[in-house]
Amino acid sequence: MLTVSNVSKSYGGRKLFIEVTTSFAPGYKYGLTGPNGAGKSTFMKILEGQLEPDTGTVSRPRKTAFLKQDHSAFNDFSVMDTVMMGNAPLWEALEERNRIFESGDESDDAGMRLAELEGVIAEENGYMAEAEAEELLTGLGIPAEQHTEPMASLSGGSKLRVLLAQALFGTPDCLLLDEPTNHLDLETIEWLEEFLLNYAGVLVVISHDRRFLNDICTHIADIDYETIITYPGNYDDMVRTKAAVRDRQLQQNSQREKKISDLKDFIAKFSAGTRATQVQSRKKMVEKLAPADVKRSNIARPFIRFDVGKESGRHVVELRDIAKTFEGVGSLYGPHFNAHVNRGDRIGVIGRDGVGKTTLLRILLGEIQPDSGKIEWGHETRPGYMPQEHEGTVEPGKTIDRWLHDFKPGADLEEIRGLLGRMLFRGEEGEKATATLSGGERVRMLFCKLMLIKPNVLVLDEPTNHLDLESCSALAEGLAEYKGTLFLATHDRNVLSEACTRIWRIQDGEILDFQGTYDEFAERYGH
């Protein structure tokens, strides 16, 4: 059991949660939810013991594992050793045993200690440890040839997968995962879901992947109203229950207010008359009927709508005999990929990390040249692009509203502030400096730009990165309503399912052009 008692935490005078008392039981899987800034990661760090609360205590199971965020902390260790460090008692026993062997100590004390260490290793299933670590690494997409390589040789995305394997290793009693699906492709997410569904301990997970939470969670622990309320069921169940509770409370308040109004009319009418006893009785009833305080929820959903300025021609783009190879990687796709895209096609680009999804989008836009083949854009096409790595796309030294105004000098302040309000930049937040924005704020600002310039072709590379659940849902709805042509690379299955009518899957050096929705694709090919 993971138990939280009277935990409070504030930052900069703002109270994130006040005297939270809750528990997380073995065998159940809890999604920790709330909008950006609600304190999800802060609360997770308190659960992990990485951050002290202002008040209160946390009681953890003996073997509590969590997904570490410092990708460079294990650069001096091999991939395999990094995973095995996830079981601290086993790793310490193996290390001490190796030190005794290397010292050449053959004393009775050394022999006794070695026997004790062998007992610990056996108890922690150490003789199957490497096999377990290999299975985890392979399932998470780390090929066998990298298992003995140093962590320093891996990309950031691969390091995250190794650290996820570390957290899963050794059958922990409690597992705390903050955004475990970041940088995972669809196949690996499905592998992780299967692993977690079979996990028997306490699981608490933060994720912006709605389908992931719906598939694995038995409960949702939602941060709102400066506390944590646990709802049975998955994320969609929580949203429905929460809305129903609030609606019921508002309806009860409305009924109470009507009753109070009737009572006050009676009091005003007869207060000076002979019915003083009845008037006093009704005054007491008014006091008892005071409406319950309905706190304002901190959950807010942006309104995302991508309008088309000037419609493109029916023919949008033609790809002829496209092939691309990278040194050290080999063929990303080829030797010949041909596709014709019409106005209104909404194409989801999927595949494992490193297969060339971003490269394909950049070839489309002319930022990268293919090894062979041609890209021919149709009449009046105006692409709007949001890259995956967008930190360098935002010019520093400006405010949000001035930065947006540069893309449409004819726009007035009211239009820009209206867009910012739809994307949850309230009041003077539009005057924030671009250099100070969080990842989620920067993504919302880039959406504002696309909504402002109204392209008739959208090219989006992992647009859900840094977004909370409600923003991801709003994006899916906005893309589903978009009347232009869409190219979308994402691992978010909910967005793919709602937004895309055609799928390009990159796999084994080839691109499969599937004419159908993501759900139809998944049914046919097992995703």
Q: What is the pLDDT of residues 34-53, one digit of tens each?
A: 877 778 889 999 999 999 99
pLDDT the model gives residue 187: 87
Question: Which of 115-119, 205-209, 433-437, 471-475 has the lowest average pLDDT?
Answer: 433-437
Q: Is residue 327 scored above 70 in pLDDT? A: no
Contact 47, 202 (CB under 8 A): no
Return d(Cα 299, Cα 308) in angstroms, integer: 29
Residues 6+ apart with CB under 8 A from 163: 67, 68, 69, 71, 74, 82
Q: How confident is the model at residue 426 (pLDDT cuts 50, 70, 90)?
A: confident
Q: Is residue 76 scored above 80 in pLDDT? A: yes
Q: Is residue 254 scored above 80 in pLDDT? A: no
Contact 164, 68 (CB under 8 A): no
CATH 3.40.50.300 intervals, the chain: 2-237, 315-393+455-525
Return d(Cα 442, Cα 398) in angstroms, integer: 13
Average pLDDT over residues 509-516: 92
Q: How confident is the model at residue 156 (pLDDT cuts 50, 70, 90)?
A: confident
Q: Is residue 19 scored above 80 in pLDDT? A: yes
The pTM assigned to this predicted structure is: 0.77
Q: Is residue 12 scored above 80 in pLDDT? A: no
Question: Which of 224-233, 287-296, 406-415, 445-454 has the lowest average pLDDT?
Answer: 287-296
Q: How confident is the model at residue 295 (pLDDT cuts 50, 70, 90)?
A: low
pLDDT the model gives residue 243: 73
Q: Burial-class residue 391 by CB neighbours within 10 Å (0-12, 13-18, 19+).
A: exposed
pLDDT the model gives residue 268: 73
Q: Is residue 261 scored above 90 in pLDDT? A: no
pLDDT the model gives residue 441: 86
CATH class of the domain comprising 315-393+455-525: alpha beta
Question: Which of 11-15, 142-146, 351-355 has the lowest average pLDDT?
Answer: 11-15
Q: State the pairing for strand pair 29-33/14-24.
A: unpaired
Query: Of 102-111, 417-426, 473-482, where does the model show the most confidence?
Result: 473-482
Tokens of 83: 């995973």
Query: What percent of the chain stands above pLDDT 90?
Result: 51
pLDDT the model gives residue 328: 58
Q: How confident is the model at residue 28 (pLDDT cuts 50, 70, 90)?
A: very high
Question: DSSP per residue over 79-103, as a string?
Answer: HHHHHHTTSHHHHHHHHHHHHHHHH
More confident residue, 451 or 299: 451
Q: What is the pLDDT of residues 340-397, one digit of tens each?
A: 999 999 999 999 887 889 999 999 999 999 988 999 999 999 999 999 887 777 877 8
Q: How confident is the model at residue 285 (pLDDT cuts 50, 70, 90)?
A: confident
Return d(Cα 478, Cα 476) in angstroms, integer: 5
Average pLDDT over residues 247-275: 68
The mean pLDDT of the chain is: 87
| CA 430 to chain CA mean position, Å | 25
Tokens of 199: 């996990």
pLDDT the model gives residue 394: 80
Return d(Cα 182, Cα 161) in angstroms, integer: 9
pLDDT the model gives residue 381: 95
Q: What is the pLDDT of residues 92-110, one digit of tens each?
A: 998 889 888 888 777 888 8
Give the containing element (helix H, strand E) for 241.
helix 235-270
Give residue for tokens 């909504």.
Answer: 451
Question: DSSP per residue over 3-19, as a string?
Answer: EEEEEEEEETTEEEEEE
More confident residue, 14 or 189: 189
pLDDT the model gives residue 279: 66
The CATH number given to 2-237 is: 3.40.50.300
